Structure 1
Amino acid sequence: MPGTGGNGAVTRSTLRQQIADALRDEVLAGRLQPGQEFTVKEIADQYGVSATPVREALVDLSAQGLLDAVQHRGFEVRAYSLADYRGMIEARSLVTDGMFHQLTGGDGRDPSDPRLAADLAVVRRRGEEAERAAGAGDLNILIGYDLRFWRELSALFGNPYLADFLHRLRVQSWVCAVQHLRRVSDLKGRLWSRHTDLVDALARRDPAGAHAVVTAYNAHSLDLVERLAAGSAG
């Protein structure tokens, strides 16, 4: 349940964000399934809060593409198709290719700036955590670190609108993928784990290398999800 401050006062906007974050995590963890319906009252009762911040949080999640409003019934978790997943991957690729070009000497941040190298080192450490989680097959930990990895990497681009757009795409991609990945009892060795290779390519100012890493990632993810959706875990 969302916490309160030491004096018991929590701003409505903070509570709204806490509820939205908690529900997003429930969807990513697979505890809220695609198509599952719920009402504002049910969520408010669950978290022990008033209806107003819950309604606002649900509207926010609807705007982010995680929920759909159901007339006279409340909200439901959006059910994404494989066609949706392919579209997300295509959109992600268009954004990241532009970002890589900028980070490696395009019209944006100076690649010789030593602060960029320091920032990439921080992102690389996040990638190391994601890789460890992927190697262990720990999907919950991987999703958390993967989202932070891409959020911090895209922030280096310097355009908060594109960074926010990419973050939403990545959240939606995970929401689409987890409904299939959760069917696998052991994910060790099956999840993408080349985050540091991507950062290293960017540190070398090698946009083609970065593109190749992400292209392989997209192909791996799409192939795995498509096979799981078809009922093949092999």
Structure 2
Amino acid sequence: MGPSGGVTRSTLRQQIADALRDEVLAGRLRPGRAFTVKQIAEQYGVSATPVREALFDLSAQGLLSSDQHRGFQVHEFTVRDYRAMVEARSLVVEGIFRSPADQVAVRAEALPPIRRRAAEAVRAAKGGDLDVLIGYDLRFWRELGAFVLNPYISAFLTKLRVQAWVFTVHRLRGEHADEHVLWFGHEDLVEAIAADDEPRVLAVMQDYYAHALAWADHLETRERGNPAPE
């Protein structure tokens, strides 16, 4: 991914950040994995400056942690962190949809591509294809988030969703992907929003968060049964 032609430093910075985010979301850069600016610069064949900027960008998004001596590492989220992410999104989203006239503007012309994203996400979830699922799921929630009139809330929800996938992806690699692990309700949510059916929207969202919290319970039970070695 070396620079070419008219690629600017800021574009290169974004390209590196996007590439590393994809590596983290695919589970190829696992939590706790440490690396330096020099290592990433050599990997991509670029100078240190855009790499350093990209790594600081990902740190600001909560995906990386930095240490003066060890460099950067993929942030290790705990089950407690994941539970807090789910609960935070639940509180914000329920607040939004309980007063939609002030906070949400659904654009009918934007619904067809979101429906396609939802269908692809469900297909990938049922097929257990995490790489495809993560891409469509993030686009699905980001495009739904664009209906939220407050851009800070929308950005906050997107950040939490990305962090949740960072926590989730490597754990899901060892699970049998079925309805007990993956959520299949994307299409139900789109149709509820399209119908302007607030109770149905809230019911689907509550099902989504209950599903996520049930999986957190499962992880906590499993961790208690298999404590980490001292």
TM-score w.r.t. length of structure 1:
0.88
SS at match of 2:102: coil
Is it true that 1:107 corresponds to 2:102 in the alignment? yes
Match of 1:71 in 2: 68
Equivalent residue for 1:222, pick from 199, 213, 218: 213
Which residue identity lines up with residue 204 of structure 2 in the other structure?
Answer: V
Shift of 1:188: 4.4
CA–CA distance in structure 2, aligned partners of residues 219 and 139 of structure 1: 21
Shift of 1:121: 2.7
Equivalent residue for 1:174, pick from 150, 165, 174: 165
Equivalent residue for 2:28, pick from 28, 31, 40: 31
Is it true that 1:206 corresponds to 2:192 in the alignment? no
Equivalent residue for 2:108, pick from 106, 112, 117: 117
Q: Deviations over 1:8-50 (max 9, x none)?
A: 2311111111111111111111111111110000011111110
C-alpha contact 1:61 1:67 (8 A) present in aligned 2: yes
Aligned length: 222
C-alpha contact 2:3 2:46 (8 A) present in aligned 1: no
Q: Structure 2 vs 1, CA of residues 206 and 3 (structure 1 numbering), >3 Å: closer, same or farther?
A: farther
CA–CA distance in structure 2, aligned partners of residues 203 and 64 of structure 1: 31
Shift of 1:132: 0.8
C-alpha contact 1:180 1:225 (8 A) present in aligned 2: no
Which residue identity lines up with residue 107 of structure 1 in the other structure?
Answer: D
Q: Deviations over 1:60-111 (max 9, x none)?
A: 00000001111222111110011101110011112222333455xx224566
C-alpha contact 1:128 1:196 (8 A) present in aligned 2: yes
**1:114-153 aligned within 5 A:** 116-153=107-144
CA–CA distance in structure 2, aligned partners of residues 142 and 93 of structure 1: 21
**1:156-195 aligned within 5 A:** 156-184=147-175, 186-189=176-179, 190-195=181-186
CA–CA distance in structure 2, aligned partners of residues 108 and 219 of structure 1: 24
Q: Deviations over 1:155-192 (max 9, x none)?
A: 012322211111100000111111311112x4244411
TM-score w.r.t. length of structure 2:
0.89
Q: Structure 2 vs 1, CA of residues 98 and 121 (structure 1 numbering), >3 Å: closer, same or farther?
A: farther
Which residue identity lines up with residue 100 of structure 1 in the other structure?
Answer: F
CA–CA distance in structure 2, aligned partners of residues 163 and 88 of structure 1: 14
Unpaired runs of at least 5, structure 1: none
C-alpha contact 1:99 1:154 (8 A) present in aligned 2: no
Which residue identity lines up with residue 42 of structure 1 in the other structure?
Answer: Q
- Residue identity over aligned pairs, in percent, reads 58
C-alpha contact 2:105 2:148 (8 A) present in aligned 1: no
